[in-house]
Amino acid sequence: MVKAKTFWVLFHCVSVKALIASSFSKGDYQSVKDITDYVLKIGLFTGVFLSAVLGVSFGSLATVFTKDAEVLEIVRTGVLFVSASQPLNALAFIFDGLHYGVSDFPYAAYSMMISGAICSTFLLYAPSILGLPGVWLGLTLFMGLRTVAGFARLLSKNGPWWFLHRDCQRTEVSMESNGKGVSIDGVLLPFEAGEIDFGEPGTNVAILLAL
């Protein structure tokens, strides 16, 4: 079941990457926003569903592979961590697809390395103190940090996801390059200047400007 879920999420990530890359390259930011919202909800739902299923049946499923009481006791110590990490795993894989879709490869690589470094340090000491639960906790921490890094990138207004924080149904042009109150030639205007909104109120009109 875990393998099936993993393959499903990975397949979904590949599809997401292709869809987002196509829309992003065309400047169709609204479609990218819609796809992002959809896949994050699907990933979260899938992770929570599998978490509940594993939490209830993980102990029973383990008996299919072994009847050894000591082994089953060890397996049961990981039920909580395995179940709790499923939503994090699903979202982390989804974020990978999102990052690759907008060609945000440097951030994906750096966030992975930082998360790995933190968790590797944790795993050097936690098992000697906590035992096997320390290993489970370290793996859960790794996927949790990857998920946090993904959310942090989407919340950033300066990265490739800047359009998530703007109204993509209209194009707003503000006189920012030379500063408000200055003409294109750098001459002070005799009146107060501001942004220009294109499209009638309540419509989905969007005007693409080639500057």
Shared-domain flag, residues 134 and 38? yes
Same domain? 189 vs 87: no
Amino acid at 162: W
Mean pLDDT of all residues in 50-67 = 74
Whether residue 181 is found in the same domain as residue 204: yes
Instruction: Give the phi and the psi of residue 172 in degrees, each rounded to 5.
Output: -105, 125
For the chain, what is the domain count? 2
Q: How many CB atoms lie within 10 A of CB 55?
A: 15
Q: pLDDT for 73-118, tens place per residue?
A: 777 777 777 888 888 988 998 898 888 888 899 999 999 999 999 9
Neighbour tally for 119: CB within 10 Å: 21
Residues 119 and 161 in one domain: yes
Please determine, for residue 8, whether its predicted confidence score (pLDDT) is greater than 60. no
Confidence at residue 112, expressed as pLDDT on a 0 to 100 scale: 93
- What's the pLDDT at 107? 94
Residues 178 and 206 in one domain: yes
The pLDDT assigned to 116 comes to 94
Same domain? For 31 and 48 the reply is yes
Q: What does the pLDDT read at residue 168?
A: 54
5 pLDDT higher than 90: no
Residues spanned by the domain of 175: 169-211
- Whether residue 127 is found in the same domain as residue 193: no
Overall average pLDDT of the 164-178 stretch:
52
User: Percentage of the chain surpassing pLDDT 70?
Assistant: 70
Q: Given this model, what pLDDT does residue 206 score?
A: 41
* Predicted local confidence at residue 171, as pLDDT: 39
Tell me the pLDDT band of 209, cut-offs 50, 70 and 90: very low
Tens digits of residue pLDDT in 121-158: 999 999 888 888 888 889 889 999 999 999 999 998 88
**pLDDT attached to residue 170:** 47
pLDDT-based confidence at residue 187 (cuts at 50, 70, 90)? low
Whether residue 134 sits in one domain with residue 204: no
Q: What is the pLDDT of residue 43?
A: 85
Q: Do residue 145 and residue 198 come from a single domain?
A: no
Compute the distance between CA of residue 140 and CA of residue 94 in angstroms, rounded to an integer: 16
Q: Same structural domain for residues 187 and 109?
A: no
Residues 58 and 111 in one domain: yes
